[in-house]
């Protein structure tokens, strides 16, 4: 990148709130999987004479999100009408929030290559989604559009950042952080593929050392982290190239195409759109009391960044392992319960944590992938799991056996002891039976014994291999080695 | 029932006749349908007459009455202004845009009346989307004043007021955004009440100006008005602006008299081009109230003169947003010979809306535009707050305020159609109550050249019982409400 310039990026994220019903009516908000136009009523269809009623849960989720990113919550919030005409907008205006959003002045910490940075969040507000238009081109050359009203009136939150990001990498990191926060507080499913977490990005360039903002370009509705990142990279280069040959940046909206990996001009903004905002007369302002905020605050448990730090500290895990574990609530809880139970069983806290983390981060995700299952489909009894950890730490199972037992536990829901018994998978650590087996093997393999006595260390490996063969792999290799050496020395 | 008997019938005495089985709801309903058929060619008060469903409603009402399960309005034939949604009966707003619109839902008030077993005779004509003061802005027909069919009935609830005046029904429900119940009630010699904003749910009232619209009854008498309000008022979870305050029993306090009542008479309502004959009738009415024991004091409400300007910014602004949904895409009129989608939307609105509706959409769009918002809409909201405060202060000292409803009696058809400003001035005395959100009633108070004159009274928010008390006392002491058109 050209060092003369500084990139300035601000992001607007629209995230669908995790409510059962729509923003202003009782229709289900599960539009993604529903038959077209099956989640509709006169209110969300904008029929004459109907009135909106605020979904209180949606307001709570905005307050919760605001609190989670350090916003102040306005004591009074109100709705406004944003007027524009388009067939996907049922009433001819969108109920949104203009000058009194629910939450303002927050911030989000990101870390990039070990450097911490705080990105300002201007506001978090509530609004309703619009219908989906599906454009159809017929073979005879005509075209028409179909309207699916299911999405109309679904509650969205808009999270607007300050233009604080200085590179596509920072923007990417901000999105990852924000995404993980709204998911962890269950404000949104934030599923990007389903369109419940969408991003508009504003990007401009200026000469380093200057403070004035350059002409900004808006990139609309990009649906994956990768696409946002690629679009910003592309746009950054495009703008620098233009500036370098002395051309002006045009203020416009550009769309990102995943196929061509380019942004393409969609609409040139000659003047700002006039949405003629005015207070929504059908909805009185909402008073947000301190008690209400406190009550919501008390439901916010640990935020992702805090949880990672705690895992690193109390379990002595790496940042990588910790963030993998906490990315799924069920797994994180399962992990913590298991490690605590291991402690009750008298096992070493840190080493059980390490064993447990490995099984969950490596083996569990492999099993989920292979079997195409969700974590919720599996047996996750932490009592069973802690016994498995105990068996591993006491060398009753070697690591291959442990993986097999683990997989069967998850799939069959039986205790590890039962599974190990059924599959005949217990490591023989019992010295008496091993002594006998080894003594026979030594007597049948005197050349190898002789080799060892002559100083050929590798002979021991051959002997162990014989023990494993005899015990079908169940002998504890460490104990077997000790016995072999002591028997040879005694003989 | 004989046609002439209908002219003196009220809800109160129809209730007695129904309960004593002297008449069935079916007989009563058939009499009204006959009366409508006989008078409608002169009056044009109905956009839709729902004869079959009315007869059905009446039969069901008779079953309820026979089993002793009746309420105050069971079996009572009524009309609804055609901007109140009725499931299965078309609801047009007297606009070409909704000419064939049949709502799949009932307005809150429609449902309340149906639950009572009331009988819906049909839908009353109005100025298109309730915008107007003469009902001449209807896309379908011009309603005439039953006292003189060369004159307007007032508006926008001209159909409801004319219909009650012509005894085509026992009552009608109207909507009042700037006087649309009271001004036509005044011009047609009937009782019209605009309740406190939020007292009656607006769910299913097709919006004109959401922060000003309110539904209310048009009746023959004050007691009937109280009976109807009693049954349509109350909290509705589907209307977030409806007030969650218990509804008092209006009939319990209505006849308590007004001895010691403090009545303020704001002098600003006797200027602004008021017809001197109307002024005299109102002054005489004040004497009647005084003779009934009220204390009459002249006061000043200096902000009154700003109410009209405030109204003509706020109402069109809200209307401009409320009416954007009529684009021909989802329901209603659709201009089909269009070149493309945008052309279709444009032509649908060009041919679907009448001139007055377009005028107000333009006014409102302008007032909300960036660069004008602060000077118009925001300023109007600030003045609105001041006007509300001025009324609140007045009601610290007075039980009710009294003034004329309209500066004049019914004017000739077409007389003001070419002069919107003259038309707008008709509502100059009624608009302040909408701006302040307070209740207000118009009752028959005299005749000038054989045309009715209405006395208006206002009270503090949710003080409808005081209005009923004062209006009922006046009505008991006078005969004006008994004067019926010759029709
Ligand atoms: Zn709905």
Q: Assess whether pLDDT exceeds 80 at residue B90.
A: yes
Whether residue A343 is found in the same domain as residue A246: no
Q: B193 in a domain, yes or no?
A: yes
Please give the Cα distance from B440 to B60 (Å, whole number): 34
According to the model, what pLDDT value does residue A271 have?
57
Is the complex ipTM more than 0.85?
Answer: yes
CB contact under 8 A, B341 and A145: yes
Domain presence at residue A396: yes
Helices A319-326 and A329-344 meet at what angle, rounded to 10? 110
Q: Is residue B90 part of a domain?
A: yes
Choose the weakest-confidence range: B139-153, B196-210, B271-285, B290-304. Answer: B271-285
Q: Which residues lie closer than 8 Å to A270 by C-beta, 6 or more apart? A: none
For residue A137, is it within any domain? yes
Establish if B67 touches chain A: CB-CB under 8 angstroms: no
Can you tell me the distance from the alpha carbon of A163 to that of B78, in angstroms, rounded to the nearest whole number? 61
Helix, strand, coil content of chain B in percent (nearest 5): 45, 15, 40
pLDDT value for A3? 80
* Residues A414, A436 within the same domain: no
Asked whether residue A130 falls in the same domain as residue A198, the answer is yes
Residue A10's alpha-carbon distances to A124, A175, A472, B195, in angstroms, are: 14, 11, 62, 50
Number of domains in chain B: 1
- Examine the domain organization and report whether A180 and A312 are in the same domain: no
Q: Which residues of chain B lie closer than 8 angstroms to A147, CB-CB?
A: 329
**Which of A91, A276, A282 is opposite residue B365, by nearest beta carbon?**
A276
> Which 3 state secondary structure label does DSSP give B217?
strand
A258, A361, B3, B305, B458 from B439: Cα distances, Å: 61, 69, 34, 19, 6
Give the pLDDT score at A374.
81
CB A106 within 8 A of CB A67: no
Whether residues A345 and A290 fall in one domain: no
Q: How many domains does chain A have?
A: 3
Residue B277 included in any domain: no
Task: Write down the pLDDT at residue A168.
Answer: 96
Q: Tell me, what's the pLDDT at B430? A: 98
B321–A48 C-beta distance less than 8 A = no
**CA–CA distance, B246 with B98 (Å, rounded to integer):** 35
- When pLDDT is cut at 50, 70 and 90, the band that residue B384 belongs to is very high
**To 5 degrees, how large is the angle CA B171–CA B173–CA B176?**
135
**Which three-class secondary structure state does DSSP give residue B283?**
helix
B411: which residues sit within 8 A by CB, 6+ positions away?
Answer: B134, B151, B152
Q: Do B321 and A93 lie within an 8 Å CB cutoff?
A: yes
Of B104, B318, B329, the CB nearest to A87: B329
Please tell me the distance between residue A31's alpha carbon and the centre of ligand 1 in angstroms.
11
Same domain? A223 vs A369 = no
Edge to edge, the sheet with strand A278-279 lists A93-96, A80-83, A278-279
Q: Does an H or E element contain A336, and which?
A: helix A329-344
- Domain contains B122: yes
CB contact (8 A) between residue B204 and residue A50: yes
Cross-sheet strand order for the sheet of B262-266: B46-49, B119-124, B77-81, B171-176, B214-219, B191-194, B440-448, B451-459, B400-404, B262-266, B295-299
- State the Cα angle at B124 between B118 and B129, rounded to 5°: 125
B156 occurs within a structural domain = yes
Give the pLDDT of residue A1: 61
Spans of chain A, pLDDT less than 50: none
Interhelix angle A477-490/A446-453, nearest 10 degrees: 80
Q: Give the CATH number for residue A476.
A: 1.10.10.410
Q: Do A378 and A460 belong together in one domain?
A: no
Pick from A49, A91, A281: CB nearest B318: A281
Residue A220 pairs in a beta bridge with A255
User: What count of other Cβ atoms lies within 10 Å of the Cβ of residue B299?
Assistant: 14
Q: Is residue B63 a part of any domain in this protein?
A: yes
A441, A365: one domain: no
Q: Which residues of B are catalytic?
A: 81, 156, 180
Smallest Cβ–Cβ distance between A46 and the set B203, B204, B325 belongs to B325
User: Which of A245, A275, A294 is where one domain is finished?
Assistant: A294
Distance B122 CA to ligand 1 centre (A): 29
Cβ partners under 8 Å of residue A102, min gap 6: A59, A62, A63, A66, A73, A74, A77, A124, A125, A126, A288
> d(Cα A309, Cα A320) in Å, to the nearest integer?
11
User: Residue B173 belongs to a domain with what CATH number?
Assistant: 3.90.1300.10
Residue A56: CA atoms inside 13 Å, Cβ hemisphere, count?
A: 7
Q: Give the integer Cα–Cα distance in Å for B180 and B431.
A: 9
What pLDDT score does B262 carry?
98
Q: Is residue B441 included in any domain, yes or no?
A: yes
Same domain as A320, residue A255: no
Q: What is the value of pTM for the model shown? A: 0.86
Q: Is the peptide bond before A18 cis (omega within 30 degrees of 0)?
A: no
Question: Tell me, what's the pLDDT at B302?
Answer: 96
Interface contact B325, partner A, CB < 8 A:
yes
pLDDT one-digit tens code per residue, B327-375:
999 899 999 888 888 899 999 999 999 999 999 999 999 999 988 999 9
Task: Let me know the angle formed at the C-alpha of B455 by B450 and B461, rounded to the nearest 5 degrees.
Answer: 155
Q: Does B210 touch chain A (CB under 8 A)?
A: yes
In angstroms, rounded to a whole number, what is the distance separating the alpha carbons of residues B165 and B473?
21
Do A187 and A93 lie in a common domain? yes
A252 and A345 together in one domain:
no
Is residue A267 in some structural domain?
yes
Question: In percent, how much of chain B has pLDDT > 90?
Answer: 94
Is the domain of A290 the same as that of A318? no
Which of A375, A399, A422 lies at the terminal end of a domain, its last residue?
Answer: A422
Q: Could you tell me the residue range of the domain that residue B189 belongs to?
A: 3-261+399-482
Cα A381 to its chain centre, rounded Å, is 24
Please check whether residue B107 touches A, CB under 8 A: yes
- The parent domain of residue A56 ranges over 5-294
**Sign of the C-alpha dihedral computed for residues A257, A260, A263 and A264 taken in this order:** negative
What is the B161 CA–ligand 1 centroid distance (Å)? 35
Residue A299 lies in a domain: no
Q: What angle do CA B357, B363, B367 make, to 5 degrees?
A: 145
Burial class (CB in 10 A: 0-12, 13-18, 19+), A481: middle
Contact A49 B205 (CB under 8 A): yes
**A276/chain B closest Cα distance in angstroms:** 5
């Amino acid at each position: 990148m050209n060092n003369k310039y500084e990139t300035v990026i601000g992001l607007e994220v629209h995230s669908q709130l995790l409510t059962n019903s729509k923003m202003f009516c009782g229709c289900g908000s599960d539009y993604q999987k529903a038959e077209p136009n099956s989640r509709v009523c006169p209110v969300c269809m904008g029929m004459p004479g109907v009135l909106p009623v605020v979904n209180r849960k949606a307001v709570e989720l905005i307050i919760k999100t605001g609190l989670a990113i350090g916003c102040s919550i306005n004591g009074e919030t109100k709705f406004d009408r944003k007027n524009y005409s388009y067939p996907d907008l049922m009433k001819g205006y969108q109920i949104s929030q203009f000058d009194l959003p629910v939450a303002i002045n927050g911030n989000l910490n990101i870390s990039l290559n070990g450097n911490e940075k705080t990105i300002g969040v201007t506001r978090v507000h509530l609004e309703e989604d619009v219908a989906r238009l599906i454009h159809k081109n017929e073979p005879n050359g005509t075209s028409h559009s179909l309207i699916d009203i299911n999405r109309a009136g679904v509650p969205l939150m808009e999270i607007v950042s300050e233009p604080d990001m200085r590179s596509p990498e920072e923007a990417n990191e901000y999105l990852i952080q924000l995404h993980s926060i709204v998911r962890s507080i269950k404000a949104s499913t934030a599923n990007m593929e389903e369109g419940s977490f969408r991003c508009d990005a504003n990007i401009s360039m200026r000469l380093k050392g200057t403070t004035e903002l350059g002409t900004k370009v808006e990139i609309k509705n990009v649906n994956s982290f990768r696409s946002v990142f690629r679009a910003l990279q592309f746009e950054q280069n495009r703008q620098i190239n233009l500036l370098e040959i002395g051309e002006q940046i045009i203020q416009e909206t550009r769309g990102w195409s995943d196929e061509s990996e380019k942004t393409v001009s969609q609409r040139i903004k000659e003047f700002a759109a006039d949405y003629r905002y005015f207070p929504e007369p059908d909805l009185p302002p909402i008073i947000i009391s301190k008690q209400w905020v406190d009550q919501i605050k008390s439901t916010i448990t640990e935020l992702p960044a805090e949880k990672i730090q705690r895992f690193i500290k109390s379990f002595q895990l790496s940042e990588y392992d910790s963030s993998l574990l906490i990315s799924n609530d069920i797994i994180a809880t399962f992990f913590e319960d298991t490690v605590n139970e291991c402690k009750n069983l008298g096992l070493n806290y840190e080493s059980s944590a390490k064993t447990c983390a490995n099984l969950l981060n490596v083996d569990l995700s492999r099993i989920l992938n292979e079997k195409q299952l969700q974590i919720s489909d599996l047996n996750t009894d932490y009592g069973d799991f802690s016994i498995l950890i105990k068996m591993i730490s006491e060398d009753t199972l070697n690591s291959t056996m442990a993986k097999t037992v683990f997989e069967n536990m998850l799939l069959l829901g039986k205790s590890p002891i039962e599974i190990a018994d059924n599959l005949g998978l217990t490591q023989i650590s019992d010295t008496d039976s091993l002594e006998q087996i080894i003594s026979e093997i030594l007597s049948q393999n005197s050349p190898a014994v002789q080799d060892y006595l002559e100083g050929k260390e590798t002979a021991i490996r051959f002997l162990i291999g014989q023990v494993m063969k005899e015990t079908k792999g169940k002998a504890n290799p460490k104990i077997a080695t000790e016995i072999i050496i002591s028997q040879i020395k005694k003989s | 029932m004989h046609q002439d008997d209908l002219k003196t019938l009220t809800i109160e005495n129809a209730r007695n006749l129904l309960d004593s089985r002297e008449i069935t709801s079916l007989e009563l309903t058939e009499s009204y349908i006959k009366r409508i058929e006989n008078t409608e060619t002169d009056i044009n008060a109905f956009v839709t007459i729902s004869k079959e469903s009315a007869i059905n409603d009446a039969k069901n009402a008779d079953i309820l009455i026979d089993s002793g399960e009746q309420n105050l309005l069971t079996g009572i034939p009524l009309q609804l202004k055609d901007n109140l949604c009725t499931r299965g009966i078309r609801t047009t707003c007297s606009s070409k845009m909704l000419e064939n619109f049949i709502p799949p839902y009932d307005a809150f008030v429609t449902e309340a009346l149906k639950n009572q077993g009331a009988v819906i005779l049909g839908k009353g004509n109005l100025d298109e989307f309730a915008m107007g003061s003469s009902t001449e802005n209807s896309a379908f027909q011009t309603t005439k004043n039953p006292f003189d069919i060369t004159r307007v009935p007032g508006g926008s609830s001209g159909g409801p007021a004319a219909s009650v005046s012509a005894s085509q029904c026992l009552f009608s429900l109207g909507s009042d955004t700037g006087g649309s119940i009271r001004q036509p009630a005044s011009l047609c010699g009937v009782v019209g009440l605009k309740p406190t904003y939020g007292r009656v749910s607006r769910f299913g009232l097709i919006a004109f100006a959401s922060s000003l619209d309110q539904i209310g009854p048009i009746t023959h008498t004050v007691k009937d008005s109280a009976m109807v309000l009693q049954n349509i008022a109350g909290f509705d979870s589907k209307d977030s602006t409806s007030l969650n305050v218990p509804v008092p029993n209006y009939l319990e306090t209505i006849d308590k008299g007004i001895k010691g009542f403090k009545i303020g008479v704001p002098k600003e309502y006797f200027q602004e081009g008021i017809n001197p004959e109307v002024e005299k009738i109102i002054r005489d009415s004040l004497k009647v109230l005084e003779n009934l024991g009220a204390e009459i004091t002249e006061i000043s409400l200096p902000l009154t003169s700003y109410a009209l300007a405030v109204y003509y910014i706020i109402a069109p602004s809200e209307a401009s947003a409320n009416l954007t949904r009529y684009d021909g895409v989802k329901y209603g009129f659709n201009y089909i010979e269009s070149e493309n989608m945008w052309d279709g939307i444009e032509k649908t609105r060009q041919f679907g809306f009448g001139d007055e509706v377009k005028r107000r959409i333009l006014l409102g769009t302008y007032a909300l535009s960036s660069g004008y918002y602060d000077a118009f809409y925001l300023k109007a909201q600030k003045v609105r707050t001041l006007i509300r405060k001025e009324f609140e202060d007045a009601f610290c000292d007075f039980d009710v305020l009294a003034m004329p409803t309209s500066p004049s009696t019914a004017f000739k058809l077409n007389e003001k159609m070419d002069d919107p400003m003259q038309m707008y001035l008709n509502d100059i005395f009624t608009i302040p109550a909408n701006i302040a959100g307070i209740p207000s009633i118009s009752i028959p108070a005299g005749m000038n050249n054989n045309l009715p004159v209405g006395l208006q009274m206002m009270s503090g928010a949710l003080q409808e019982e005081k209005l009923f008390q004062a209006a009922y006392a006046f009505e008991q002491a006078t005969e004006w409400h008994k004067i019926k058109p010759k029709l």
